Structure 1
């Protein structure tokens, strides 16, 4: 007989840290804003960037898969992050992974494509505010100056010795997304809170 017990509600990796992130944001007087954006849809796509699948998948998603290294294409609330010559990470609102996978596979048809829901693999930290770049620079070797890493850029890098995907969001004061593996999220949140004391 099938188990009919209700599933436990989803709990984000940083649910316990939410009050401390909010307190640091308040204490900084708006200099930095820290928050978790839990449960974002994250789908990893691999295909030939010059093949028929790429030509079909982009329009099916309503955006273009970026071909310039380290760039992001946006359509509404969804983003396509360039991770490699044949790899992209699609990020969107929570709960959309299955529908996204279906659309990609239907658009690709018989063309070779790999589509993997990695939504549970990472959580997302928002780091925003006028001092966001300074805060991240404490632990990241990338040149985060807007001329080098402005809106619409992304990179796989290390932040505080933790592997992350860093996304510079577009729009005034939009800040950054830091996509971090769930198992390292608590450590990285603690590091950000400690580094943010300079701005409190």
Structure 2
């Protein structure tokens, strides 16, 4: 009897240790591994003139300034993620307002996110500006996305041959029309005095 109690205690201790290790493993934070951000040469913004209601798309090279109405927009950085990951497009932007006196006043400095345009957009009484995307990755298109986006090249001989036009689709059968109601079942107009 002395041996059974010890065996039971060992099994209990073994299960307790496994349960404790499982709890510790589950408590450890799981951090996803992200690829390095892709730096881009151009930031693309949408700008709304609230007076005219027109939206303009601004493609601004990094560290260059473009004027939109009384605003001067200068992107400093524009980063994206590889195509295989969740979209994450962000740009660090400085926006100045040019007053009627000619002086500039900084009205926005910070990060804009294309996936959350309302989060950090420039809201001005007359103009709104928000990030829509980044273009022209520095160093070209990353290798993994170049394979996905590259058009298939055809040999010169195949490209020179004319491709026959596809055959037109067969004529669709006209749907059957419902039979006209019998004369006895025709409904009278609801407002007969409006009928002429």
Shorter-chain TM-score tier:
under 0.3
- Bigger radius of gyration among the two: 2
Select the structure with the greater relative contact order (CA < 8 A; seq sep ≥ 6). 1
Q: Given the two structures, how large is their TM-score scaled by the length of structure 1?
A: 0.24
Q: TM-score, normalised by structure 2?
A: 0.25
Instruction: Considering fraction of residues, name the structure with more helix.
Output: 1
